Amino acid sequence: MEPLVERPPLAKRLKRFLRYLLVRVVLAIVSRLPLGFARWLGVGFGRLAFAVAGGERRKALKSLARAFPEKSDAERHELARASFLHLGMAVFEVGATASMDRQLERLVLWQAEDRAVLEAALARGKGVVFVSGHVGNWELLARRVARAGYPSQSIAKETTDPRLTTLVERFRAQGGVRSIWRGQEGAARAMLRALKAGEILGLLIDQDTKVQSVFVPFFGELAATPRAAADLALRTGAAVVVGFCQREGDGYRLWMQEVPWQASGDREADAVTLTAALSLSIEAAIRRAPEQWVWMHQRWKTRPMPSQ
C-alpha cells in the first residue's frame, strides 16, 4: 500500500496557483514582445526588485563582502544593483522566446575555437559532462548549443509546483534541451544513459543546495559544492567541459574550456580535486563579469565540520 501524500494547506495551494497563473500571463505577454522592449522591461523589473526586495539586496551585499573584501561599500552596492538589473534583463530576454529564437545565432556568438573544444570532447564517444553556473544567461547557453544540433540534456531541480515544472520543461524542450529532474525516479539511470549515448549532460554546480556535496574553495572560502559532475565523469570516463554564456555589448558570447582529469584510484579524493577545479573555473567566469552572477544566493550557507 502506497503511503498517503499529505496535501499542502489550502492557503499554500492557492498561493501556488496564483503564482502559476501570474507566470502564465506574464509569459504569454512577454513571449510576443520585441527583444529590445523585453530587455527594457527586464531592467525596470531588476531596478524595482533591488529597491523593494530588501532581504535579497542584503544577501547580495553580504555575499559581495565575502567575495570582494577589498572593494568599498559603494563599489559593492553598485555591483549588487547591477546584478539585479542583469538578472531582470536576462529573465525577460529568455521570456521573449519568439524574438530571441529568430536572432539566437546572431545574438549569442559562438566562436570556432570554443565550438572546437566541445566537438573534440564529444568525438571521444563517452559523452560530455558540461558544467556551468548561474553566470550570464545559462538558459541561452543550453538553448544555443542544442539548437546548433548537439544532443543535450540538462539536470534540473523540480519546482514546488508541478505546473511550473511542466512550463520550464516545455520551454526548454522547444529549444531542443531535454530535462532530467533530479528528484524523479530513474533520474540517475537517465544521466548515465545520456553519457553512454555520447550526449551532452549539463549541470549547474555553483549553488549550496540539498544534494551530495564536497567543500572546495570559492572566492577563497570553502563552500559546499555539488559533486555530481565529478562523480559522473569518474564513473563513465566522460570528458568534462565548462562553459558560460556571458553578456558582451548587445549580445552574448559563449566561452568553453575542457577541464582535464585523471583517476588516481582514490575516488573520493579525485571527486574533490575535480570539483575544486570546476569551481575555480566558475569563479574565473564570475570575476570576468561579477555583475552577471546571482549574488543574492547564500553560497556559503552550509559550513564544514571543524575537522574538514
Q: What is the pLDDT of residues 241-279, one digit of tens each?
A: 999 999 999 999 999 999 999 999 999 999 999 999 999
pLDDT digits (tens, 9 = 90+) for 109-146: 999 999 999 999 999 999 999 999 999 999 999 999 99
| 88 close to 49: Cβ distance less than 8 angstroms | yes
| 252 close to 109: Cβ distance less than 8 angstroms | yes
**What is the pLDDT, as a whole number, of residue 284?**
98
Contacts 24+ apart (CB under 8 A), 180-183: 180/153, 180/154, 180/155, 180/156, 181/156, 181/157, 182/155, 182/156, 182/157, 182/158, 182/211, 183/157, 183/158
Q: Is the pLDDT of residue 94 over 70?
A: yes
pLDDT digits (tens, 9 = 90+) for 43-90: 999 999 999 999 999 999 999 999 999 999 999 999 999 999 999 999
Residue 300 grid cell: 556559503
**118 three-state secondary structure:** helix
Q: How much is the average pLDDT of 152-178?
A: 86
* Per-residue confidence band for 6, with pLDDT thresholds at 50, 70 and 90: low
| 41 close to 30: Cβ distance less than 8 angstroms | yes
* Per-residue confidence band for 1, with pLDDT thresholds at 50, 70 and 90: very low
